[in-house]
Structure 1
């Protein structure tokens, strides 16, 4: 084995060692707690045996643990000794392929929710009194999310062109748009629950509506966390035209979330008010 091969083998062993971490386990535990809390908040409330607020609290704790696991893992795996670490096309393809596989499985997750909605939609429609779904808030939120996909795309392009300030600015704008979108969704929920008295337990459509929009909101929240990590790392001087794998994979995720929202608006918001 030559010196070059030995150096590559040593680098691969170094990378393998660095990726043996407790943080993925912590993140997985947080995800489990999050889903358990959500299930208790929904099922417990319906059965009248478990307070909704406690379930929501457990879900919030789970999300915090999940976020901490992701941040810790990324810090250990990518922040430490970033510029000294070897990179290559094989590693880039591996990470991108992993993200694509994750998104394929996520299609099945959303597909289950949409299948439930389509099943409900076949029956008598509308199934009771529906709130005013197509308001200005959902239109503004949709515009924000679409614009955020463009800002992230052009941020990635700016990085490839070596325009670091533009990259940082557009990445910051994308992060802010994601946060505002989440705020808009919370405001929409508050309006439905407070003024329209439209809640998760209002009927079969309500369960589909809050289930799908809540699942999407969870994905947006995770995307905001990921973009925030990108911004944090970029401000620390990381990323360039040759080291953009994280930016590329997070972009794939964010564009997927955007596409799901457009489909969700067309099917759930617009479709709900269309009488066949």
Structure 2
């Protein structure tokens, strides 16, 4: 069915860049997830090119890797905007789904988090593989990892999980003022955490010379912490969307599906960070 035919029969609108059902009979098609995935894949390609362009005998121009990474960031953010807006905002701006639809969305988030466990699991398996040999790796000079910045940042993320949980509880009790206040605090804490991770990268790379090209531990460290930082950034975007919708009064004790699903995502990234700190920071610092 074309867009015009859908309009004539009262059907839903398609959202560019997909303008027709494809494949036929599967409802609305969209290229935004593919654009987002393309940008995400570019992060890893850019990181690999950065490694090839640095070191004692660089194989390519050292500017190629950063250029690919920056370009991929633009593509990723553009795809993410289109995906989030057309999939999660436009159709739900006037209200929240109820009944079986709400349960289906929560189950979809559970399935998504299952795929995220696999993604992070692959990174941790790589780290455990390189830790199987002598430690620290030959020729590696590891910086002081378990700093006060890491501990403070960890506390900030843990507290943000509590503020988001009690924001949801306040909504369920029809306390909208407390709900919006705690939601704002959660968003602020998430942004502060991201800023803390950027500061930590600056300290490692600029002040201590510990960059991605410093060996197998560095690749695992920046790969896992960078992947987690990307997820926290996405979570902050989702919380910001929920916060704006909360300001418009679009949630109630009966209609709060997106609050539930975003909370599930945020608690997941919090749990991953705690595991990451124990394994990457504490384990490397203590040599265990």
- Same structural fold, with TM-score higher than 0.5 when normalized by the shorter chain: yes
Indicate the residue corresponding to 1:37 in structure 2. 42
Indicate the residue corresponding to 1:99 in structure 2. 109
- Structure 1: how far apart are the matches of 2:30 and 2:190? 27
Query: Conserved in 2, the CA contact under 8 Å of 1:113 and 1:211?
Result: yes
Aligned mate of 2:144, from 132, 135, 157: 132
1:71-107: CA deviation from partner (whole Å, max 9, x where unpaired): 343231111xx24x7x432111100000000000110
- Structure 1: how far apart are the matches of 2:228 and 2:216? 18
Indicate the residue corresponding to 1:53 in structure 2. 66
- Structure 2: how far apart are the matches of 1:18 and 1:243? 22
1:148-184: CA deviation from partner (whole Å, max 9, x where unpaired): 0000000001101111111001001101111010000
**Structure with a larger share of its residues in helix:** 1
Aligned mate of 1:63, from 47, 72, 76: 76
DSSP 3-state at the match of 2:214: coil
Map 1:66-77 onto structure 2 (within 5 A). Answer: 66-69=79-82, 70-77=84-91
Equivalences, count: 258
Q: Structure 1 residues 54-63 or 242-251, which shifts more?
A: 54-63
Q: 1:53 to 1:256 in 2, by over 3 A?
A: same
Shift of 1:274: 2.0
- Structure 2: how far apart are the matches of 1:111 and 1:162? 39
Structure 1: tracts of 5 or more residues without a match: 1-12
1:50-72: CA deviation from partner (whole Å, max 9, x where unpaired): 52220221122023213311134
- Structure 1: how far apart are the matches of 2:41 and 2:261? 28
State the superposition RMSD in angstroms.
1.9
Q: Structure 1 residues 34-43 or 265-274, which shifts more?
A: 34-43
Query: Conserved in 2, the CA contact under 8 Å of 1:18 and 1:76?
Result: no
- Structure 1: how far apart are the matches of 2:265 and 2:13? 22
Query: Conserved in 2, the CA contact under 8 Å of 1:175 and 1:224?
Result: yes
Map 1:98-117 onto structure 2 (within 5 A). Answer: 98-117=108-127
- Structure 2: how far apart are the matches of 1:18 and 1:210? 43
